[in-house]
A and B are shown apart, each in its own frame.
Chain A
C-alpha cells in the first residue's frame, strides 16, 4: 500500500487534534505530502492557495462547516477532489455531502485502509485519462463497448454484474478497492451487509479470470480489500 505517484499532495481539514495528527502521520508513512488545517477558514484559505491532489474534509468544523467550505471552493472554480469525513453516516447525509460538491463520503468511524483506498482513487481521478473504452491488465483485456473480456487467447463469459465488477476493478487497476467501495459503485447500495456477500462475488469472478492461469491478477489485500494488477508491474 504505497502511493505510487511521487509527492502526492493532500490537505486534511479536521479540527480534532488527535485524529488529524493520526491521519497526517499515516498518510506520510505511505508517501503522501500531508498538510493540516484545523478550522474551516484556514482550510479554505489553504485549499485555495495550495495545489493539492485531494482534500480530506471533516464535515463539522469550527468557523466554517465542511459543506460550506466545499461550496465556496467550487464557486471559485476549484475542482480539487474532496473526500468528506463525517460522523453523520446516513444515506441522506451522504447525498447532501455529494450535492454540496464532495466527490466521496466516508462516515466515521472508518478504517485507514478504507480512507487510503478512496483517497488513492480520487487522486488518480485527477488529471488521469478520462473514461477509456477498454482496460488491460497483464494479459487480461476488457472491452467496454463490445462487453468482451479475454485473458490471453481465451474468451471469458461473464454475467453482467461480474462484468461491471471487473470493469470497476480494472478501472482502478493497481489500487486497493474496498468491499464498501464495490458495494457502492458496482451495486449502488450504501448499507453494510452483515455477511461476506462481496467476497463471494469476488471469488466467483476470480474463478473465471484467474483459474487455470499461472499468474493470478485479482489479489486480496488483507484488512483492506482487493486489487487487480499484473504481479510484476
Chain B
C-alpha cells in the first residue's frame, strides 16, 4: 500500500471527507436559502412599486385625460433609472413611454408578465429583462409599467460566485486539515504498530510510546502498556513454575524408569516382576497426584474455581475434616481435637476442605514433638502431652479463621515464606513422603477467596491459619441482630 493509500484509508481522513460533504451541503443550502429569499424580496419590492405607480397613473389618466397621461409618462421616463412605461392606443399604436420593443403579445394580456425588452434610447442590441404589469384604461388604452430585473440578476451572480468560492475554500481547507490530522494519527499508530510487531516477535519488554497530551491514543497506549506488564509478569511466573515442575517431576520419573530398567535387567522370578510392576504403578500414582495438585493450584490461582462458590458454615468444614482425620491421627499416637464457633463463609467448600485437610495432614506428618524437646515442653503445654493437634474455626473481626495448631518443632520465621512455595520441602520433612504442594495449595485457596495463609509460632509448634474474609451479608445480619438486642433491652 502506498503512503497516500494508507493516508486516505485512515479513520481521520474518512471522517474528514464526511464532514467536508456535510459542510459543503450546509454552505450550499445556506446560500440557496439566502438567494431565494433575496429574489423574493426584490420581486415583492418591484411589484409594490409598480402597483403604486399604476394606480397613480390611472388616477392621472382619469383626472387629466390622455394628454395628462402622456405628459406625466414622458416626464417620468426621463428620470435617471426610470421604470419602464408604455401607453398604447386601442389600435395598438404606441403613444408614449420609453420602451422600444417588447416580446410579442405582452401588451395584449392584462396582469403580470416577465419579458425581454429594449429601451427607446438605448443603442445596444442586447435584450434586458423586466417584470411588467399591463392594465387596461378607460377608452381601450393600455398602460404598461414595469421594472428592469438587472438588479435581481446581478445579485444572483454574486450569490453564485460566493457559493463557488465557499465550496472551494471548504474543500481545500477540509482536505488539508484532514490530511494533516490523518498523518499525525498515522504516525503515532505506525509507532505503536512497530512496537507491537516487536512484541509479537518475542520481545516482551517492548512498550508503546506514550505522549504527554493525555488524549485517547495516549490512554490506549498506557493501558496496553499496563497489560503488557501484566502479561510479562504472568509469563515469568509461568516459566518459573514450569521450570520447577520440570525439575521436580524428573526425579520421580527417573526413579520410575530406573526401577523398570532394573527389573528388566535382572532375571527375576514372576513375584519379583510383579513387585516391580506394583512399585511402578505406585510411583506413577504419586506422579498423578502431584499433577492433580499442580492443576488444582493453577486453577485456584487463576480464579477459575470462582464459579463454584456458595455459602456454608466454616464449623461444618472443620468438623468434617476432624471426623475424617481423627482416626489417622490416633493411629499415629496423636490427638486431633476440634474447637468451632459457627461462622458463615462464602466460597468453594470443596477447596477449603482440601486446604484444611492439607494443613491437618502436615500437622500429623510433621507436628510430632521432637524427642529431645519433649521433657522440656511437656510442662509448658500443660494438660496435653504435647501430641495434640487442634483444628479451630472462629471469627476475628471481618475474617473467618480456620487454623490447625500442632506442638511440633514449628517452622523458623525465616523459612515461613519459603515453605509456601511450590515443591518446597523444608529440611525437617525430607524424610517424609509428600509432594511439597500441600501448603502451596492451601495458600492458593486462601488467595482465591481473597484471604491468605498465615504461618505462626504456637510456642511451641506451628499454627497454620487460613484467614478468609467473612460473608458480608452474614456480618451485616449479625450486626443487625446485635443492634436489636440492646434496643429490646432499652
**CB within 8 Å of B: which residues of A?**
89-92, 95, 107, 109, 111, 161, 187, 189-197, 200-201, 204, 223
Given contacts A91-B350, A223-B281, contact A194 B324 (CB under 8 A): no
**CB within 8 Å of A: which residues of B?**
278, 281, 285, 288-289, 292-293, 295-296, 299, 304-305, 307-308, 320, 323-325, 327-328, 331, 348, 350-351, 353-354, 357-358, 361, 364-365, 433-435, 438
Q: How far is the CB of A24 from chain B (nearest CB, A)?
A: 21
User: Which residues of chain A come closer than 8 Å to B308, judged between CB atoms?
Assistant: 91-92, 95
- Closest CB pairs A-B (n = 10): A191-B354, A92-B308, A200-B327, A200-B328, A91-B350, A197-B328, A200-B331, A195-B361, A204-B327, A109-B288
Given contacts A90-B295, A95-B308, A204-B327, contact A195 B364 (CB under 8 A): yes
Number of A-B contacts (CB under 8 A): 66
Given contacts A89-B292, A91-B308, A200-B328, contact A193 B323 (CB under 8 A): no
Q: How far is the CB of A222 from chain B (nearest CB, A)?
A: 9
Q: Residue of A at shortest CB range from B351?
A: A91
In the bound complex, what is the Cα–Cα distance between A120 and B392 (angstroms)? 40
In the bound complex, what is the Cα–Cα distance between A200 and B326 (angstroms)? 9
In the bound complex, what is the Cα–Cα distance between A210 and B323 (angstroms)? 22
Q: Residue of B at shortest CB range from A191?
A: B354
Given contacts A161-B323, A195-B361, contact A189 B350 (CB under 8 A): yes
User: Which residues of chain B come closer than 8 Å to A107, judged between CB atoms?
Assistant: 292
Given contacts A109-B288, A189-B324, A200-B331, contact A194 B305 (CB under 8 A): no
Given contacts A92-B305, A109-B288, contact A187 B350 (CB under 8 A): no
Q: A92-B304, A189-B357 are in contact. List 8 more A-B contacts (CB 8 A).
A: A92-B308, A189-B320, A189-B324, A190-B350, A193-B357, A194-B433, A195-B361, A201-B327
> Could you tell me if A191 and B327 are in contact, using CB atoms closer than 8 angstroms?
no
User: Which residues of chain A come closer than 8 Å to B350, judged between CB atoms?
Assistant: 91, 189-191
User: Which residues of chain A come closer than 8 Å to B364, judged between CB atoms?
Assistant: 195
> Could you tell me if A191 and B353 are in contact, using CB atoms closer than 8 angstroms?
yes
A-B contact pairs, 27 of them (CB 8 A): A89-B295, A90-B296, A90-B305, A91-B351, A92-B307, A92-B308, A109-B288, A187-B324, A189-B320, A189-B350, A191-B296, A191-B353, A191-B354, A191-B357, A192-B289, A192-B292, A192-B293, A193-B324, A194-B361, A194-B433, A194-B434, A194-B438, A197-B324, A197-B328, A200-B327, A204-B327, A223-B281
Q: Residue of B at shortest CB range from A113?
A: B281
> Could you tell me if B353 and A197 are in contact, using CB atoms closer than 8 angstroms?
no
> Could you tell me if B361 and A90 are in contact, using CB atoms closer than 8 angstroms?
no
User: Which residues of chain A come closer than 8 Å to B358, judged between CB atoms?
Assistant: 194
User: Which residues of chain A come closer than 8 Å to B296, judged between CB atoms?
Assistant: 90, 191
> Could you tell me if A223 and B278 are in contact, using CB atoms closer than 8 angstroms?
yes
> Could you tell me if B324 and A196 are in contact, using CB atoms closer than 8 angstroms?
no
In the bound complex, what is the Cα–Cα distance between A111 and B285 (angstroms)? 9
Given contacts A91-B308, A95-B308, A190-B350, contact A197 B325 (CB under 8 A): yes
